[in-house]
Amino acid sequence: MNFRDVTEAHSRTVQAGLDPLARLDPAQRVFVYPAWGRLALSLLLFWRWIGVWWVSLLVLLASDPPVTPPLLLRLVAIGIVVPFILEMVLRRAYRARTFSEPETLRIAFRSEELEIPRAHIAAVRPWRVPLPGPGLALLLPGGKLLRERIEVPSPRSWAKLHGLPLEEGSRATAATLAFADARAASQPWRWYHYAAKFFVFGLIPGALLFQVHQRIAYGSVLGEYYLRGLLAYLRTWAVYYGTVVIYLLLFAGLLRSALEVLLWFAAQTHPQRAIPGRRAGERLVHFVYYLGVLLLLALRFSGCG
């Protein structure tokens, strides 16, 4: 294999990584639900996003009394954890797979299947607003929509995969398609990415704040251990570390929610730049996240000094 072959192979690999269609399984896992299910999931998403902003503002502004760790846990449970769990329960109930066959489109749920003749599908109509995520409805010949709504990462790629005509419609729909394609083309995160971002990185501010507390309250880093024992020492560490991890989650949630809204609005005016805009936005969010935490720590210690 010569250098040109290697270069062409690398180019094809890069293009496949940017093409959402290249990542789709022919028996793709999707979420299929009625219109009220989409409404419920969208409301839960709004509840969670509002919870992130609400709790964050309380942490920043409340001073008399301040938000203590027990109160913070209750606020996070009500504003973020509860809607997240309800959302996961609904998504698990509506999980399905779509199969493309010569004469039918088959949607397989856990306990039943729905077969739709291809002759009865006039077009795929994408959602204008990607809530609770990008998705589509199937347009029937009479102009009616099939009751089931299908949430997929990229409606354009899904329609192409199953050989169905796509109704791009208005400019807003085309912009949302570009937004969905850009998000589907980005590299998915695994559990270890989240573990490194929050739990490993959280050790830095957690350890710094904890040792400052130990020196101020007990005179040395191991002061509480010598005075009150190992259990009390570990309990205090758990409170500081857990609080820091929650703060990091809130900060990341603020950045993520703001980024998604900005990218969707940007796609309305520049849909052709959705993919490079997504890449630039993701890099900016990571930069602001890590640098912002370190700057906040520096401000905190300079203020203490």
pLDDT at 170: 82
Residues 149 and 203 grouped into a single domain: no
Q: Is 102 left (phi over 0), alpha (psi -120 to 50) or beta?
A: alpha
In this structure, of 84-98, 255-269, 288-302, the range with the lowest mean pLDDT score is 288-302
Domain contains 2: no
Average pLDDT, the chain: 88
CATH number at residue 68: 2.30.29.30
Taking only the tens place, the pLDDT of each residue in 173-229 is 999 999 999 999 988 889 999 999 999 999 999 999 999 999 999 999 999 999 999
- Give 122-134 pLDDT, tens digit per residue: 999 999 999 999 9
Instruction: State the pLDDT at residue 22.
Output: 47
* Mean pLDDT value of segment 280-285: 96
pLDDT tens, 149-174?
999 999 999 999 999 999 987 888 99
Q: What is the pLDDT of residue 247?
A: 96
- Phi and psi dihedrals of 151, rounded to 5? -95, 120
Residues 30, 165 within the same domain = yes
- pLDDT band, very low/low/confident/very high, at 302 (cuts 50, 70, 90): confident
Q: Number of folded domains in the chain? A: 2
Residue 287 corresponds to which tokens in the numbers above? 């930069």
Which is more confident, 92 or 7?
A: 92
* Percentage of residues in the chain having pLDDT higher than 90: 76
Which of 145, 170, 195 corresponds to the end of one domain? 170
Bridge partners of 205, per DSSP, are none
Same domain, 248 and 287: yes
* Helices 274-304, 171-185: crossing angle, 10 deg rounding: 60
Are both 206 and 145 inside the same structural domain?
no
Query: In this predicted model, what pLDDT tens digit does every residue of 61-80 receive, in sequence order?
Result: 988 788 999 999 999 999 99
- Quote the domain boundaries for residue 280: 186-305
Return the pLDDT at 65: 83
**Do residues 164 and 219 both lie within one domain?**
no
71 and 198 both lie in a single domain: no
Q: How many residues does this entry show for the chain? A: 305
Tell me, yes or no, whether 193 lies in a domain: yes
Instruction: Check: CB of residue 270 under 8 Å from CB of residue 277.
Output: yes
Instruction: State residue 50's pLDDT score.
Output: 97
Does residue 224 sit in the same domain as residue 290?
Answer: yes
Confidence bin at 20 (pLDDT 50/70/90): low
Q: Which residue has the tokens 């849909």?
A: 271
Domain check: are 29 and 158 in the same one?
yes
10 CB neighbour count, 10 Å cutoff? 10
Structure tokens at 159: 């329609």
DSSP summary character for residue 144? P
pLDDT over 60 (residue 21): no
Q: Which of 123, 138, 170 is the last residue of a domain?
A: 170
CA dist., res. 199 & res. 193, Å (int): 10
Residues 149 and 196 in one domain: no
In a domain, 75, yes or no: yes
Whether residue 3 lies inside any domain: the answer is no
